[in-house]
Amino acid sequence: MSIYLDNAATSWPKSPQVIAAMQEYLGECGGSPGRAGHGKSLTSSRMVYDTRDQLATLFNAASTDRVVFAKNATEALNMILFGFLNPGDHVVTSGMEHNAVMRPLRQLESGGVNLSIAACDGQGRLDPDSVRRLLTPKTRLILINQASNITGTIQPIAEIGALAKEAGVRFAVDAAQTAGVCPLDMQAASIDFLAFTGHKSLGGPQGTGGLALGPDVDLRPLVFGGTGSASESELQPDFLPDKLESGTLNAIGLAGLGAALADLNAYGIDKVLPHEQKLLHRFRDGLRELPAIVVYGPADPVESVGVLSLNITGIPCDEVGVHLEQQFAIFTRTGLHCAPAAHRSIGTLSKGTVRFSVSRFTTEAEIDAALAALASIARGNN
């Protein structure tokens, strides 16, 4: 029996409700949301609205129509960055960002946007004062991930949101690793833009995600085209969410995401982070007993979501990953995890790490099996 510990990449298993909702959509509905007045289209439209509304409630967004769907957090981040920044603007980000942030920012930098990167410590922590010191009169945006996909380090977004508000700067949060795990209150944390993905801790399928906008911010569309609304005009609609949702939505995926959100609410989202941190505590305690293990990120699991990176001294991380899968049927992710900036910050850019990431479905027995496997590999019994 296999053990899946790669939930930071995509969560698995999906709940039976998710699978059933997607099958029901294909088998019983099948209509295109917002593209006709017949019953199947209306049923599909109601399902999309319900999913949108659940997300607005989860994030305490300004309103349901300010939740915009995209295919993932990467697309949502591109929508924010290319739809908001102009040449001459200044943006501040952190040294723990994923390439979903760094690559579009580097592209914009080549076109005249000015970029500053706030340094993080060796555990991936960001001091809000390091962000404050980088602000200039031309700073227009601060963009920070709420938790690292390498170390799991949770950043102080409420404090950063407060300083952004005080400085008159817009604040964007990459919640790819935290939506469905950590509390997210856009209004309380002064978040103007929130990018999320559906296929990680929200429990939905791949191809779902999006962004939520604050009450007084606007974006230029990244894509133009049909929206099912204002069809008499050849100009892009100027109202949300249609303005930013050209083309037919991934209705089957959103059916699955809606079911995942309902299942998450039934489980109790407030239970997810404590469960993950309890597992991390057990994992870290066990790793202290093993030889040659180097663990990265905060020592106290209360500072992290359920992500832990490590190396075994003398064994390349990809080799460890192969041993874990082939000999112990344990699935992890090795390498640089599409986040060279983060690996640079924690000192692992030249070698990468083995990443273990848990979910609300992960058990203590699975953590114990991972510890036993690592002990075997570290002691050369492979």
Which tens digit of pLDDT belongs to each residue from 55-92?
Answer: 999 999 999 999 999 999 999 999 999 999 999 999 99
Please compute the mean of the pLDDT values over residues 22-42 and round it to a whole number.
Answer: 91
Binned at pLDDT 50, 70 and 90, residue 382 comes out as very low
Range from 107-111, 141-145, 229-233 carrying the lowest mean pLDDT? 229-233
Is the domain 16-267 a CATH 3.30.450.20 member? no
pLDDT value at residue 15: 97
Mean predicted lDDT score pLDDT of the chain? 97
CB 47 within 8 A of CB 54: no
Buried b (16+ CB within 10 A) or exposed e, 58-82: bbbbbebbbbbbbbbbbbbbbbbbb
pLDDT value at residue 56: 98
Residue 161 pLDDT exceeds 50: yes
Which of the listed CATH numbers 3.40.50.920, 3.40.50.1820, 3.90.1150.10, 3.40.50.300 matches domain 3-12+270-378?
3.90.1150.10
**Is the Cα torsion angle 78, 80, 85, 91 positive or negative in sign?**
negative
Please compute the mean of the pLDDT values over residues 276-285 and round it to a whole number.
Answer: 98
Structure tokens at 82: 């290319």
Q: How many CB atoms lie within 10 A of CB 33?
A: 24
pLDDT value at residue 36: 84
Residues whose CB falls within 8 Å of the CB of residue 182, separated by 6 or more in sequence, listed in order: 146, 147, 154, 175, 273, 305
Per-domain residue ranges for the chain?
Answer: 3-12+270-378, 16-267
Structure confidence by residue, pLDDT tens digits, 115-133: 999 999 999 999 999 999 9
Binned at pLDDT 50, 70 and 90, residue 319 comes out as very high
Residues marked active site are found at 338
